[in-house]
Structure 1
Amino acid sequence: MIGHYQFGAMTVGGKIYRNDLKIIDDEVISRWWRREGHTCDIEDVQDILASGPETLVVGMGQPGRMHVTDSLRKVLKDARIELIEQPTAEAVQTFNRLHGRGKRVAGAFHLTC
C-alpha cells in the first residue's frame, strides 16, 4: 500500500504526500495535524478509533520524536487495538506487512522529525 517513504515525503497509491497523514481502511487522510505537534493523543485519532482496526501503527518520525500519550495507550488497550510505535521508516514496513496479510490495520505517520 505504501510505496515509498523518505524524510518529509510518502508515496501511497502512486501519489506523493508531503504532510503527516493517516491511513484508514485504504483511505489516505492527508495534512494530519495534532493538537500538540509531537504528541499523538485521543482526539488526534478519533477517526481511527471509530473505524475499529485490529492494529494501529504509528510512525514516530524519522528519529522518533513524536510520542503517544498514556491516555491514548489506555483507550487503545481497552478497545483491544494493538499499538505499534516505530520510527516512520520501520512503521511503513510494518504497516505494509500487516496490510499484505489482510489485517485491519490503520496508520498514523509523522513524516519528518
Structure 2
Amino acid sequence: MIIESYSFGRMKVDGIGFDSDLIIFPEKIVSSWWRVQGHYLQVRDLGEVLDYQPEVLVIGTGYSGCMDVADEVKKELEAAGIKYYIEKSSRAVEIFNKIDSKKKVGAFHLTC
C-alpha cells in the first residue's frame, strides 16, 4: 500500500481517504485506531501488529509529534526482531513509502 498524501488529520492510502488514526497492514487498513491512553502508545495498543509479526513497523507520532511511545514498546519490538521507526507523521509517511518490504506495517496518529 502507498500513502498518497498526509496533512493534519487526513491521510489518503491507495485512493481511500481517512480522517482518524490508522494502522496500515499489507492487506488491510484498520481505521479508527485508538490507544488506551490516547497520546501514549503502549504495547497493548499494538496487539494486532505484534501478532502479525512485521519485518518493519513505522510509527507516526502525529503532525507535531505529540504521541509518546513507551519504552516498553521499543523493548517489545526489539525482542520480537521487528525493526522500527518512530517519527512525526509526515516524516513517517516518507519512510513508510520508501521501505521495500512485503511485511511492513504503519501505525499513524494523524492529528496533534
Following superposition, the deviation at residue 51 of structure 1 comes to 0.7
* 3-state secondary structure, aligned to 2:84: strand
Following superposition, the deviation at residue 25 of structure 1 comes to 2.2
Following superposition, the deviation at residue 67 of structure 1 comes to 1.4
Q: Aligned Cα RMSD in Å?
A: 0.9
Following superposition, the deviation at residue 103 of structure 1 comes to 4.5
2:64 is the counterpart of 1:63: yes
Following superposition, the deviation at residue 13 of structure 1 comes to 1.3
Could you tell me how far apart the structure 2 residues matched to 1:36 and 1:2 are? 26
- Structure 1: tracts of 5 or more residues without a match: none
Residue of structure 1 equivalent to 2:106: 107
Residue of structure 2 equivalent to 1:46: 47
Following superposition, the deviation at residue 31 of structure 1 comes to 0.2
Could you tell me how far apart the structure 2 residues matched to 1:103 and 1:29 are? 17
Q: Give the letter aligned to residue 28 of structure 1.
A: I
Following superposition, the deviation at residue 26 of structure 1 comes to 3.2
Displaced runs of 4 or more, over 2 A: none
* 3-state secondary structure, aligned to 2:101: coil
What does the per-residue CA deviation read over 1:7-35, in whole Å, with 9 as the maximum and x for residues that have no partner? 00000111110000001223110000100
User: How many residue pairs were aligned?
Assistant: 111
Could you tell me how far apart the structure 1 residues matched to 2:101 and 2:80 are? 20
2:33 is the counterpart of 1:23: no
Quick check: 2:26–2:102 contact (8 Å CA) kept in 1? no
- Structure 2: tracts of 5 or more residues without a match: none
